[in-house]
Amino acid sequence: MEGLKASSLPSSFHRLNFITSRPFGTKIKKPILHYPFSSQQPNSHPSSFEYKKAKFELSTAMSSTVSTDQETEPKEKHEKFDWYAHWYPVMPLCDLDKRRPHGKKVIGLDIVVWWDRIENEWKVFDDTCPHRLAPLSEGRIDQWGRLQCVYHGWCFGGSGDCKFIPQAPRDGPPIHTSSKACVSVYPSCVQNGILWFWPNVDHQYKDILLKEKPPYIEEIDDQSFTSQMMTRDITYGYDVLTENLMDPSHVPYAHYGILRADREGGRPLDLSVKTLDKNGFSAKSPTGCNTFIPPCVFYSSGTIGGTPDNQSAGAKEDSSTNKPLKKLLLVFLCVPVSPGNSRLIFTSPRNFGVWIDHVVPRWIFHLGQNLILDSDLYLLHVEERKIKEVGSFNWNKACFVPTKADALVVGFRRWLNKYSNGQVDWGTKFSGDLPPTPPKELLMDRYWSHTVSCSSCNLAYKGLNALEVALQVISIASIGIVAALKQGTLSMTARNTLVSVAILCFVASKWLSRFIYKNFHFHDYDHAFR
């Protein structure tokens, strides 16, 4: 999944440089490398077997900047990561329809997003009507711009206040002004073309945007860059999604036949985590670095061509040619939804080949990106259940990760264990159990996980379905004309032409039906026959 924008990215991107920035001036401590001998008593002597085992573990630990042995962590208390004190991405604006409310689940919270045309901004409410707890996301926006619950018609303004209760007597007390009639409102903002919300309705966070903003990536807003966004709901959890995106080694194998990668193209990767604390970490390769800003943001940025000096300094031009450097980012927003479910918002800003995005429809890119996600979806769904069986704190014991290529994955698992008890904090909403595994057609379903909520794919889906119906009508009509007219009315050439048209339209409609199903509903990926 490291290269979702497969149709437009060169294979050399996996060797790009990466640039990092820390949010809000956070200072990060260097990680401590803990040696396997630390568990020995000062005066004890290891046996020959123990010594060889410890020597191997030492060489394994030294192969990556981040130790894979969680037992070697110091027994000190660390400040825990507060999952409800950070901004979360909800949806790209390009996929939000101002004419209707949208229901989403983020970190276990059911929210409704709707456009308040009175205040001219997007609002994020608790998706619950205070009357009888019906979902407001199934409601409508009325002619006065209010969010209306369609169960009993209660209407709400942008501040969550109840504007109208149809069942209340007109000449009676104004019961709609009661605080009990209000809807909880979450702080929200728009940044980088994405709607974000703060998952806490406490009054103290009303003006949280003045104190803290979501992580900002300037290239997404840079007019010299092009950036297509995509959203997909995933049937495995946040932790597995995030670690998979931090793993470049799986690309030539799990995504073979999609990306420009040799199936036997695996090679050593010199990755190392340089800084790790509660606020995330940065990691370097020989040619650059990646950045993880919890809870949701993981991104890589690099240049194609240029000298190492230019790349490390973040220069905009190649000093050897004085030409602008080709810059490319992979930005992944990994959203925890519920146990066993997550959401990915992906974009890949670049300052070259900009014309492609103006010519090729957005939904065409999504076909390839969805196929990339599907090609390892089942693998990761099964992997998550095996991790659940052994427990997150035993991940390092169950998984053998001896090479530097796994340094980012190890770094993420270490961060999760160290600052969040090895899991997302779901509060009291979930027991932590994973949902049962559905049939593959549902596990890898594209329609409800992407097509419905993507404005471009939904439009293409409707258009292609209409074309399929039109081809069938033409086919039937052509045969009908030939059958209805008496022999001799049409020349033999005309009759043959109509029959040919009928056959061609029928075959085209069948092909189109298969194309629609594979690209907008379900496409299995059989690795054995790739």
In which band, very low, low, confident or very high, does the pLDDT at 15 lie, cut at 50, 70 and 90?
very low
pTM, two decimal places: 0.83
CB 317 within 8 A of CB 323: yes
Q: Residue 12 gets which letter from DSSP?
A: G
| Confidence check: pLDDT of 9 > 80 | no
The conformational region for residue 353 under phi > 0 = left, psi -120 to 50 = alpha, else beta, is left
pLDDT of residue 77: 63
pLDDT of residue 321: 61
In whole angstroms, give the CA distance from residue 92 to residue 96.
Answer: 7
Higher per-residue confidence, 148 vs 488: 148
Highest mean pLDDT among 75-89, 212-226, 252-266: 212-226
Q: What is the pLDDT of residues 382-434, one digit of tens each?
A: 999 999 999 989 998 899 999 999 999 999 999 999 999 999 999 888 887 99
pLDDT of residue 76: 53
In which band, very low, low, confident or very high, does the pLDDT at 319 lie, cut at 50, 70 and 90?
low
pLDDT of residue 266: 74
CB 417 within 8 A of CB 80: no
First to last CA, the chain: 17
pLDDT of residue 251: 86
| Confidence check: pLDDT of 43 > 80 | no
* Assigned token pair, 39: 């568990």
In which band, very low, low, confident or very high, does the pLDDT at 324 lie, cut at 50, 70 and 90?
confident
Residue of 231, 45, 208 lying closest to 124 (CA atoms): 208
Q: Calculate the CA 74 to chain-centre distance.
A: 33
Q: Where are the strands (E) in 187-271, listed by range?
A: 188-191, 194-197, 229-234
Taking residues 25-37, report their average pLDDT.
34
Higher per-residue confidence, 486 vs 414: 414
Q: What is the pLDDT of residues 449-477, one digit of tens each?
A: 999 999 999 999 999 999 999 999 999 99
Q: What is the pLDDT of residues 194-251, one digit of tens each?
A: 999 999 999 999 999 999 999 999 999 999 999 899 999 999 999 999 999 999 888 8
CB 445 within 8 A of CB 521: yes
* Assigned token pair, 376: 């390892």
Least confident of 63-67, 94-98, 329-333: 63-67
pLDDT of residue 309: 53
CA torsion through residues 436, 461, 296, 20, sign: positive
Taking residues 352-361, report their average pLDDT.
92
Number of H helices, E strands in the chain: 13, 18
pLDDT of residue 6: 40
Return the residue matching tokens 């900009």.
Answer: 354
Taking residues 137-159, report their average pLDDT.
97
Q: What is the DSSP string of 96-139?
A: --TTS-EEEEETTEEEEEEEETTTTEEEEEES--TTT---GGGS
Q: What is the pLDDT of residues 135-144, one digit of tens each?
A: 999 999 999 9
Residue of 475, 480, 530, 528 lying closest to 506 (CA atoms): 475
Helices (H), ranges, 361-439: 362-375, 377-390, 395-398, 407-420
Q: Residue 434 gets which letter from DSSP?
A: P
pLDDT of residue 275: 86
Q: Where are the strands (E) in 221-309, listed by range?
A: 229-234, 272-277, 280-285, 288-293, 297-304
Round the average pLDDT of the chain to a whole number and report it: 84
* Assigned token pair, 225: 């860059």
Percentage of residues in the chain having pLDDT higher than 90:
65
Residue of 127, 106, 111, 114 lying closest to 344 (CA atoms): 106
In sequence order, the 6+-apart residues with CB closer than 8 A to the CB of 442 are none
pLDDT of residue 286: 66
In whole angstroms, give the CA distance from residue 213 to residue 519.
Answer: 37
pLDDT of residue 384: 96
Residue 2 CB neighbour total at 10 angstroms: 22
